[in-house]
Structure 1
Amino acid sequence: MHRQIVAALFCVLVAVPLAAPAASPELKTRLDAQLKLNRERYGIAGQAVLIRHNGQLVYQASNGEKDIERHAPVSTDTVFNAYSLAKLLASVLVMQLVEQGRVELDAPASRYLPDLPVAWKAISVRHFLEHSSGVPEYFENHEGALVSKGHAGLAPTLEAAFAGLADAPMQFATGSSNRYTQTNFLVLTALLQAHYRQPYAAIVRQRILKPLGLRNTWLGPAGVPAARLATAYIGKDGALQREDDVAWPAYALGHASLHTTVGELDRFLQALAAGKLVRRATLQTLLQPRKLSTGRDSGFVSGWEFGQSGDYRQMSHDGGTRVRARLLFKDSLAGDTWTFVYFTNGSVRNVWSRTLVDSTMAQVAPRLFPRETLSERLFTHALADDGADDTALKTWLRDGSGVASEELERAINGAGYAIRENLGARPALKVFTLNTALHPESANAWDSLAECHAALGDAAIAAELYAKSRQLAEAAKAKP
């Protein structure tokens, strides 16, 4: 990592504009530097990025290699394996049927699929779409091989996949939690095929790919010359290793095996935001925040991960942790909108795609996206030389980050766990320690610090910190 790049980005994130920036040479320079930093920091093989604001192109770039053996460079028209971004196509197709009045979200999916397992008969279409159904996963990973119950590999047919789950226990009571499960989209794929009486891939081609002119987007095995495809890699033992894609059966294409370019996924997002696939009025209704039966916010809405980023509602989805699409809007999709597409073909550290998109948001509009900016600042802090003075960072976190004081402890803690997963426990320790300095009365902050020490093998320190956390929690309960 180059210290000059880190220092330049640090300064940029301190002095930030209040308004959303237009495309500019200065912004391009910052984003170019961030992509270079990301590639060095995480060992990314190749990457391509596209960002828009209100439909206008803000930034598009690519770097690295789509094949590290041939040293073939990534370009903006490189085709990547987008994995579970396939679910966004299925989500749109379901929303189209809802808009047409042909499917009711709160009706049992068994109304449209009478042969679903008996235990699933009362589960609504919405529960499957929002990963709140509680149904079990239809396969397990056995030493790198995906195996469906009762089969040597993946079940040969959709019917066999469902039959294998007929007696499997539910993961949780329907509607009480979210758990991302591929089985949910098997049900939605089956529903779409039952309605259109066509194979799922044909439905996608006719209703999404052809109308939008997406000629380099497809589901399933390679559809373009191998030279156009980015080779997929995974990080193992500190190096990149080639990873062959799963040979998904045709019934699984509603949740996997999407191939596309950043430009064509961007075209899909722009069409969605413009109301060309589903009317904006319909989307406004379907994309409202929802509650689970426990009163907690649902983490998914209409098939998208859903949350808040500053004043924006944030819809996003990843694909195998390597790629991510993110769509943000303020009041409606007809107003202030941002889209971010960040594709990689793998990294040494298996970096989260959400971490990468956060880093670009921090450069594009730090004041508009305070949590993402905080996250990137803390990643930089975690990798800084040990012993560096963190006084300025503490002051910024308390007074200048834009994150509300009542949310600050949780925001720092969340960044700490992201750092632990992406960079390791040692760098994360600095962030968890910083959080206890800023929030010495927080039982949660001390608990997370203890957990990090435990992960590093510091058993005695961890025990002491766990005890401190329990004391603070008990004291908080005792307060009137």
Structure 2
Amino acid sequence: MKLFESNQNKTTLLKLFSLLISIICFSCSSPKKENDSAEIANDIDRYLKKAMELHNIPGLALAVVEGDEIIYEKYFGVASLKDSNLVKENTLFRVYSATKLITTTGIFQLVENGELNLEDRISKYLDSLPSAWRDVKIKNLLSHSSGLPDIIRYESTLTDQELMEKLSKDGMEFATGTQFRYNQTNYWLLAQIIEKITGLTFDEYILKNQFANASKGVLFSSNSNETIPNKATRYHYNGKSKSFEKDTNNSGIRGHSGNGLNITLNKLIDWDKQLKNNKLLNERTKSMMWSPFSFEQNFRYQKDNFLHGWHNYQVNNLDSYGFSGGNLAAYRYFPKDNTSIILLSNGYQIEAYDIIINDIARIALPELRKKDLVLEEKIMQTVLNGDYEESLRYFTKLREQNPNSLFDNLRLNINGVANSYVWNEEPKKALKVFELNAEANPEWWIAMAGLAEIYEIQNDSLNAIKYYQQALMLNEKNEYDYNELMKDKINELKK
């Protein structure tokens, strides 16, 4: 009996000791987490202030959300240059093509409910389609592998019937399923399929099923000229006048499913939490949505880059899923850390969204933060400062840290800086930046074509021919149908 009592006392003491250790550990870890969060927030603050100045961004809102916990949420700059209205919690940003994430989620909700199948032909739901379109499947619309002609080439003022008549006369751009080509027709048709199945308008369906509790802070409009309270004005930078001009884009109601979502940062945070907590889609359906689409032709998008309506981005070998819109807005979800980064802005002088999202991940995600990583913004800063050797050193190190990344946006941005020097009639600066881009990206045909063009401008025919020929060899897939133009330039230069 005494032995039992002794053992019982020991057990009780052990439980008390374990409880005490847990309390001590919690009290130690909680302040540490708070300190880490505060340090991360300060680092993001410093970074964003420099990035906004470097890229000349009028207004910006950014959030980092780990699970349900908001690690960072802040608002910077102005929503309108005209009246200097500040970006606030109630500021609506149009997210342009990031809207496609919302539309895709809506399609997969129908898939999850058994009302739709990815293998369904679109002719099952849509009547009077051109005969060449009838074998296109739902999965081809989601993955931009349909080969359909793009509605973007026609005026938004056309009626649906007038538009279809014009499109039916256009040939298919490629055999369905073989290639990736970004296309607004795909998402216009997805909206029509949603409406056919549900009996609701596209707007009604999305708001009901993804933003049911949002009485305000989310709406659809693809018309930049429409007056909407609290909406941030989207700006384009005019390099010649060196000033911002108000965007006048109007895609009409047909653009709602592809580029028409206007939303506040906190409403997008709410949407993000619902997605993570399986309230919008279950895990199985999300896994299906985030699975790579298998293109029949072997080209770079087959390397697990494009999924079903989403894109797979790698940051220092960490996977993330998301998409961007208008070079202004971006959503990224990092599943390993259960963390999302949301960026909303309203203009720029030098494109920035992809660079900023990648760098915020390097600052905020624990696995990346503890490493000595190169920030893409640092490369842009050295390029703009004319420190080209330093730029190349940073770019080389960045590639070593990210062997599977192509850095499309970063190298396009550098190309854009070089082009701006061309427009400003600063050929020596332009040549230096084109040379840097070609040395940093020797496998990229656009870098070689840019270098050829600046040599052509400087009447250096031999080097122009040399780099046009290199660009031709690298552009095996004839991106942007540019090869014929380069061949013509080579022939002219040889004469």
TM-score bracket, shorter-length normalisation: 0.7 to 0.9
What secondary structure, in the 3-state scheme, does the structure 2 residue paired with 1:136 have? coil
Name the structure 1 match of 2:321.
Answer: 315
**1:387-428 deviations in Å (ceiling 9; x for gaps):** 766696478458xx5223xx58x55x8633332236746578
Paired-residue identity, %: 22
Q: Secondary structure at the match of 2:167?
A: coil
Change (3 A) 1:71 1:314: same
Is residue 2:293 matched to residue 1:290? yes
Which structure features the higher share of helix residues?
Answer: 2
Name the counterpart of 2:244: 240
1:112 shift after superposition: 1.9
Equivalent of 2:332 in 326, 333, 343: 326
Cα 1:62–1:118 shift into 2, 3 Å: same
The yes-or-no answer on 1:419 pairing with 2:425 is no
Given the superposition, is the C-alpha separation of residues 339 and 431 from structure 1 closer, same or farther in structure 2, using an over 3 Å criterion? farther
Q: What secondary structure is seen at the aligned counterpart in 2 of 1:123?
A: coil
Note the C-alpha offset of 1:463.
2.8
**Contact kept? 1:359, 1:372, Cα under 8 Å:** no
1:403 aligns with 2:402: yes
Partner of 2:16: none
Q: 1:390 to 1:106 in 2, by over 3 A?
A: closer
> 1:289 offset after TM fit, Å?
1.9
Specify the code of the residue in structure 2 equivalent to 1:380. Q
1:395/1:325 CA distance change after superposition, 3 Å: closer
- Whichever residue aligns with residue 48 of structure 1, its letter is A
CA-based RMSD of the aligned residues comes to: 3.5
Over 3 Å counting, the alpha-carbon distance change for 1:422 and 1:162 in structure 2 is: farther
Residues 423, 367 of structure 1: CA spacing in aligned structure 2 closer, same or farther, 3 A cutoff? Answer: farther
Q: Is the 8 A contact 1:429 1:453 kept in 2?
A: no
Question: Are 1:358 and 1:373, in contact at CA under 8 Å, matched by a contact in 2?
Answer: no
* Aligned match of 1:12: none
Deviation at residue 22 of structure 1 after TM alignment: 8.2
Q: Which segment drifts farther, 25-34 or 426-435?
A: 426-435
What aligned pairs does 1:189-208 form with structure 2 within 5 A after superposition? 189-208=191-210
User: CA 1:371–1:254 in structure 2 vs 1: closer, same or farther (change >3 Å)?
Assistant: farther
Greater Rg by CA: 2
CA distance 1:122–1:425, shift in 2 (3 Å): same
TM-score, normalization: structure 1?
Answer: 0.77
Partner of 1:84: 97
Maintained 8 Å contact 1:429/1:449? no
**Cα 1:387–1:253, aligned 2, differ >3 Å: closer, same or farther?**
closer
**Residue 445 of structure 1: CA displacement?**
6.5
Contact 1:23 1:58 in 2 (8 A): no
Cα distance between partner residues in 1 of 2:34 and 2:44: 13
SS at match of 1:52: strand
Q: Deviations over 1:295-329 (max 9, x none)?
A: 33444322112343334332222222221112222
In structure 1, the gaps of 5 or more residues are 1-19, 141-145, 148-152, 331-335, 474-480
List runs of 5+ in structure 2 lacking aligned partners: 1-32, 422-428, 475-495
Which of 149, 161, 164 aligns to 1:162? It is 164
1:104 lines up with 2:99 in the alignment: no
Q: Which residue of 1 aligns with 2:29?
A: none
Larger RCO of the pair (alpha carbons < 8 Å, separation 6+): 1
Q: Which letter maps to 1:123?
A: V
How many Å separate the matches in 2 of 1:80 and 1:261? 6
Q: Which moved more, 1:130-139 or 1:289-298?
A: 289-298
Mapping 1:243-262, distance limit 5 Å = 243-246=247-250, 248-249=252-253, 251-262=254-265
Whole-Å separation in 2 of the counterparts to 1:376 and 1:451:
22
Query: Is the 8 Å Cα contact of residues 62 and 75 (structure 1) preserved in structure 2?
Result: yes
Residue in 2 that maps onto 1:121: 134
1: distance between equivalents of 2:472 and 2:330?
A: 41
Partners of 2:179 and 2:402 in 1: how far apart?
27
Partner of 2:356: 356
Instruction: Report the equivalent of 1:305.
Output: 311
